[in-house]
């Protein structure tokens, strides 16, 4: 199966989204300041949306692999780790300095979308993984 590791990682990310959302709603409710709770929820929301995006691109790659799709997957994976991960860590530790990492994750998430846009823009009708760099 092509992209097996990405499918596995996306499934784990989806499970983590559910776990983090439930943990935030039940265990963290009332334990965090409203600002830290909001940061935690933002991390969950962004991870959820980008996990769905990963799955969509993986399904698309199964039928029409294009150069740049894998780059978008990698940028989103790293972006979720830095963006959501830093927000989760900040919420758990209260260390506001971790918030300095969050914008770097956001830039990676945006770069993933731009890489995907460039991939689509460069594709020609009927292209199937030009130059093997999909």
Q: pLDDT tens digits for the chain (134 residues)? A: 679 999 999 999 999 999 999 999 999 988 999 999 999 999 999 999 999 999 999 999 999 999 899 999 999 999 999 999 999 999 999 898 999 999 999 999 999 999 999 999 988 776 655 444 45
107: which 2 tokens?
């830039």
Residue 128's alpha-carbon distances to 9, 53, 61, 134, in angstroms, are 24, 20, 9, 9
* Long-range contacts from 55-63, C-beta under 8 angstroms, 24+ separation: 55/10, 55/14, 57/116, 58/3, 58/6, 58/7, 58/10, 61/2, 61/3, 61/134, 62/2, 62/3
21: which 2 tokens?
């959302």
pTM: 0.89
**Domains of the chain, residue spans:** 4-122
């Amino acid at each position: 199966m092509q992209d097996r590791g990405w499918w596995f990682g996306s499934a784990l990310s989806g499970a983590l989204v559910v776990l983090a959302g439930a943990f935030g709603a039940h265990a963290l409710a009332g334990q965090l300041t409203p600002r830290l709770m909001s940061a935690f929820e933002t991390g969950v929301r962004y991870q959820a949306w980008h996990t769905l995006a990963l799955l969509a691109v993986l399904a698309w790659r199964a039928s029409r692999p294009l150069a740049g799709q894998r780059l978008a997957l990698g940028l989103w994976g790293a972006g979720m780790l830095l963006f959501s991960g830093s927000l989760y860590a900040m919420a758990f530790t209260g260390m506001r300095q971790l918030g300095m990492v969050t914008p770097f994750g956001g830039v990676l998430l945006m770069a993933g979308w731009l890489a995907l846009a460039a991939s689509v823009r460069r594709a020609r009708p009927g292209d199937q993984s030009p130059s093997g760099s999909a």
